[in-house]
Structure 1
Amino acid sequence: MSSINLRAAAAAIILTASCAGASAQEAEGPMRDQFFWLGEINKASAVINSQEGLLDPALTPRIAQGIRTVLENGAAEGAKRPSTVISFEPLMIEAAGVEVTLLHAGRSSQDMHATYRAAILRDRLLELAEELNTTTRTLVELADQHQGTIVPNYTNGVAAQPNSYGHYLLGHVAGLERDAQRIREAYARIDRSAMGTTVLNGTSWPLNRERMADYLGFASTVDNAYDASQISSTEHPVEVGALVTSIALHAGHFVEDVMVQYAQPRPWILLQEGGGNTYVSSAMPQKRNPGILNDARGAASTAIATAFGPVLRAHNITPGQNDAKDVSANNEVIDNAVEVLQAWNEIAGALAIDPERALEELDSDWTASQEVADILMREHGLPFRAGHHFASEIVDFAKAENIRPSEFPYAEAQRIYAESLGDMDLPSDELPMSEEEFRNALDPQVIIANRASAGGPQPAEMTRMLEAARGALDRQDAWVRERREHIDASLARLGADFEDLMAEAD
């Protein structure tokens, strides 16, 4: 077999192993840890420096064999996997002799650590993006199912207006789409290699920084050598914490909205019982405690608490300090965000909406009253504040007399109209709305169907927004897939080129 075919075969094997590693990572936690990336950096240094005249070709095979030995030993079950340059290097010296430290041409622990931190955060952001898309897609499909389900929506904690539950869900989806944008934007800033910047001002060695970045799957290099490990490396976990905070806040808002309704004696939104969604009180037989909601709220609070950790650790330190750079602590921030999204996804799958009870709730209050004022202005030219005053007088009378919107006498509306306009020194003509028009103005289903502005809950706009949301999810899925494929292919190419060095050693 030709050397070209051997390299192609090696690349295919390494790419397959990399993909398998990704599956294992999802099942068991991060596999591409500090030890892994220190190994990849050493492999890339050996390949690049030997080919570009920075490493004696006569020493290269022994150095490459030493790297392989360290990596094979580290892959054994229960083996130690050093996470710092200072603890990794003695293993290489033991395996290949002190000459292996010739690999340190133009590099230091500063740029190596900054590089592996960025690589690990990059992997974790892709995991977070995938989890975010899973939850968002569940909400989109739930919104599709409930396009025509009319429910109360609330402002300031008080029933405000009727809305399609599907439209309400798409509002939450819009927030999560912005979180997806934040992930992509943060990823672009993190997806840059610090290798070759050494401590803070570069090196006299003519390093090929771009080739190193390419081997490690980075899109580019950090341009300023001081920025690489002294500034941006501290900034990355703070930015990730901010986007995790946004995700957790969105989840908390949704959970609390459900919780408020769930606590009512006759809620229109329930949880399917069983499967850990609810549990019976140990003392009160009638209670079905919303365990899944409590767990999600707790997870969101924990995520926000840990997400603020990098800010506190990065506060009031001089540039380059390690306080905010701890990989384990920063992994925990993303772990907690993933847990929040998984809990939210479970809640969305466990919701039980009662459309009839929702309509009854709407008819027990006057959430449609603004429509009366809107129609009087739009169709009959009455100033909005006058129509608002008329509708408010209707609500006051109805609540005093315990009259539901669907039962309100048209004759009383006519009387109140004349009196309310007189209060505002306007001509107190007859109510210009017909009885049918008045009834429709108080019918939540008619109100939703007649919405005309872009972004509303009317069927045509719901169809458009659902299509747009699905398109955004598909593009995000493609983005995650492309980023992973790029990293895997880069590492496979590095692996194949490193195998060439090993072939010389053999």
Structure 2
Amino acid sequence: MTDEEDSEDGSEAQRASKRSSGERSDPRDVVRRERFSGGPARDFLSSLAADERIFAADLAVDRAHVVMLAEQDIVDEADAAAILEALADVEAAGHGELPDGEDVHAAIETAVIDRVGARGGRMHTARSRNDEVATCIRYRLREDVLDVAEATLAAREVLADAAADHTDTVMPGFTHLQPAQPTTLGHYLSSYESALARDTDRLLDAYERVNRSPLGAAAFAGTPFDVDRERTAELLGFDGLVVNSMDAASARDFLVETTAAAATLATTLSGLAEDLVVYSTQGYVELADEYASTSSIMPQKKNPDTMELVRGTAGDAAAGLNGLLSTLKGLPRAYNRDLQRAHPHAFEAVEAVEAATEVAAGAVATADWRTEALSAAAGEGFSTATGVADLLAMAGVPFRTAHEVVARAAEEGSDYAACEAAAEAVLSESLDAYVDREAVEAALDPETSVASRDSVGGPAPAAVENALAEARDDIDADAAAVESRRADLAAAENGLEAEVATYV
């Protein structure tokens, strides 16, 4: 061994000796310790600021849990009363006055203990932050789901009203952004009411699985205390339990389902918004000034900016769903801290889509549809060609042959003469051997063409009116379903307040 090696070994031994005796020889150690001692990690771990969204939910969950503990003789009534009174003080002070904490749950508990002393810690008996946060998220999210559902109902009513005003307004229908067949504005608008009806259904379906209580699952393995999980579920207005305690603490599929429903709704709205942007450009509709803006440099411009932002919301919602799924993918059972990053995706998507729904509904409600321009464009691009082919098929010509006749006619024009020439070329017979001229000319007229398509769900005015009558019944039924759920939650809230009042 060289002298240098002896020296290095000796220095290391000296450093080890100094470390064991508490002596710090290297000032860099102090810097490192100060840099990494608690601050950054503590801030990184904390969700207190973001938890403002579930502050009220946590207070409700705390109250229900304490009432149940007292009813089960797990906590005596005097302690329960003190805790419940302290929770009222915390609520009055607000989220902004909470002490520092890792999350809102710990901060509220600390605030209670600050007010009533160590016995305040009894409020956390027989539970974990794992089941507590899962319950708080569900408690808050169910209200948000109902808010979005109500927004879809308002949008459906607007669309139905606008459609009813325009059952006779002929307009061009498009596929691939090309004139395809004439339709009516009422038929077009009611198509979005139908889509939004399914979005409402998805939200109400999601609500049923959101509104289940995980409280009492504790960390994930239940609790030895004689808790009454059904009682806390009742006090909080849940429709039942997430029974398995491991599933209850760790499951976040209800977030996925809700966010997926929001993303699907946002996609529906994005299509409507895109149509309004295109139709504004083509002069078919003018949005109210409140839903448009002008250019900072080009004074003649009126831009459909709100619809562009509604269209963009679909990207936000889809990103939220993808972020949520990516967070949850591959997580082991049961609780993992990754879950702290999960629910913001859902809340942000739901809030954004609710706002987009309201704006889209407002744009439709105040839009000025240019009916003359729509009618003038309804027959462009030989959009009535299918009607002529249908006439020939009804007269016995195989539809594929009829299709060939009208396709050939489209190469020359869109009038009777072009159809007659095409029939001679393809069928080797005059057109009137199959249909008379009056019927063909009627089929070439956009209004007559639309009126002939009166099958269920079709664009004929009578068919649209029938569809709208059914749509209004569905809207009323869905509104009643939302109202019933609101009433159940309000009743539970009142019931919880009454129970708390017996202690405080």
- So what's the TM-score if we normalise by structure 2? 0.83
Which sections of structure 1, spanning at least 5 residues, go unmatched? 1-29, 399-404
2:34 is aligned to none
CA distance in 2, matches of 1:186, 1:339: 19
Q: How does 1:350-369 map to 2 (within 5 A)?
A: 350-369=366-385
Structure 1 pair 373–104 and aligned structure 2 pair: CA distance change class (3 A): same
Structure 1 pair 322–374 and aligned structure 2 pair: CA distance change class (3 A): farther
8 A Cα contact 1:277 1:350, kept in partner = no
- Residue 292 of structure 2 aligns with an amino acid whose one-letter code is N
1:68 pairs with 75, 81, 85, which one? Answer: 85
1:100 is aligned to 120
8 A Cα contact 2:260 2:321, kept in partner = yes
1:471 maps onto 2:473 in alignment: yes
Structure 1 pair 228–281 and aligned structure 2 pair: CA distance change class (3 A): same
1:252 is aligned to 270
CA distance in 1, matches of 2:309, 2:170: 28
Shift in Å, 1:286: 4.1
CA distance in 1, matches of 2:379, 2:64: 69
8 A Cα contact 1:237 1:325, kept in partner = no
2:316 is aligned to 302
CA distance in 1, matches of 2:421, 2:457: 36
CA distance in 2, matches of 1:450, 1:197: 62
2:407 is aligned to 392
8 A Cα contact 1:43 1:498, kept in partner = yes
2:45 is aligned to none
Q: Deviations over 1:115-169 (max 9, x none)?
A: 0111011111111111111112111111111111111111122111111111111
8 A Cα contact 2:70 2:80, kept in partner = no
- So what's the TM-score if we normalise by structure 1? 0.83
Q: How does 1:281-430 map to 2 (within 5 A)?
A: 282-283=297-298, 285-319=299-333, 320-326=335-341, 327-378=343-394, 380-398=395-413, 405=414, 408=415, 410-422=416-428, 430=432
Q: Number of aligned residue pairs: give it.
A: 450
CA distance in 1, matches of 2:179, 2:392: 22
8 A Cα contact 1:295 1:343, kept in partner = no
- For the residue of structure 2 that corresponds to 1:363, the secondary structure is coil
1:3 is aligned to none
- Which deviates more from structure 2 when the two are superposed, residues 72-81 or residues 191-200? 72-81
- For the residue of structure 2 that corresponds to 1:197, the secondary structure is coil
Structure 1 pair 281–370 and aligned structure 2 pair: CA distance change class (3 A): farther
Q: Deviations over 1:49-97 (max 9, x none)?
A: 22233233xxx22332233123323323652387533222222222233
1:9 is aligned to none
Q: How does 1:117-156 map to 2 (within 5 A)?
A: 117-156=137-176
- Which deviates more from structure 2 when the two are superposed, residues 101-110 or residues 364-373? 101-110
Shift in Å, 1:349: 2.4
Shift in Å, 1:193: 0.4
What percent of counterpart residues are identical?
26
- Residue 36 of structure 1 aligns with an amino acid whose one-letter code is A
8 A Cα contact 2:271 2:311, kept in partner = no
- For the residue of structure 2 that corresponds to 1:308, the secondary structure is helix
CA distance in 2, matches of 1:317, 1:181: 30
1:34 is aligned to 54
- For the residue of structure 2 that corresponds to 1:162, the secondary structure is strand
- Residue 466 of structure 1 aligns with an amino acid whose one-letter code is L
CA distance in 2, matches of 1:212, 1:68: 19
Structure 1 pair 453–72 and aligned structure 2 pair: CA distance change class (3 A): same
- Residue 313 of structure 1 aligns with an amino acid whose one-letter code is T
CA distance in 2, matches of 1:85, 1:282: 51
- For the residue of structure 1 that corresponds to 2:171, the secondary structure is strand
Which sections of structure 2, spanning at least 5 residues, go unmatched? 1-49
1:263 pairs with 260, 281, 286, which one? Answer: 281
1:167 pairs with 187, 190, 193, which one? Answer: 187
2:459 pairs with 457, 460, 468, which one? Answer: 457
2:488 is aligned to 486
Q: How does 1:149-298 map to 2 (within 5 A)?
A: 149-231=169-251, 234-264=252-282, 267-272=283-288, 274-280=289-295, 282-283=297-298, 285-298=299-312
8 A Cα contact 1:183 1:243, kept in partner = yes
CA distance in 1, matches of 2:291, 2:452: 40
CA distance in 2, matches of 1:337, 1:239: 15
Give 4+ residue runs of structure 1 displaced > 6 Å after superposition: none
- For the residue of structure 2 that corresponds to 1:147, the secondary structure is coil
Structure 1 pair 299–430 and aligned structure 2 pair: CA distance change class (3 A): closer
Shift in Å, 1:251: 1.1
1:84 maps onto 2:104 in alignment: yes
Shift in Å, 1:328: 4.3
- For the residue of structure 1 that corresponds to 2:502, the secondary structure is helix
Shift in Å, 1:37: 2.6
Structure 1 pair 462–94 and aligned structure 2 pair: CA distance change class (3 A): same
Shift in Å, 1:280: 4.4
- For the residue of structure 2 that corresponds to 1:220, the secondary structure is coil
1:446 maps onto 2:463 in alignment: no
8 A Cα contact 1:417 1:430, kept in partner = no
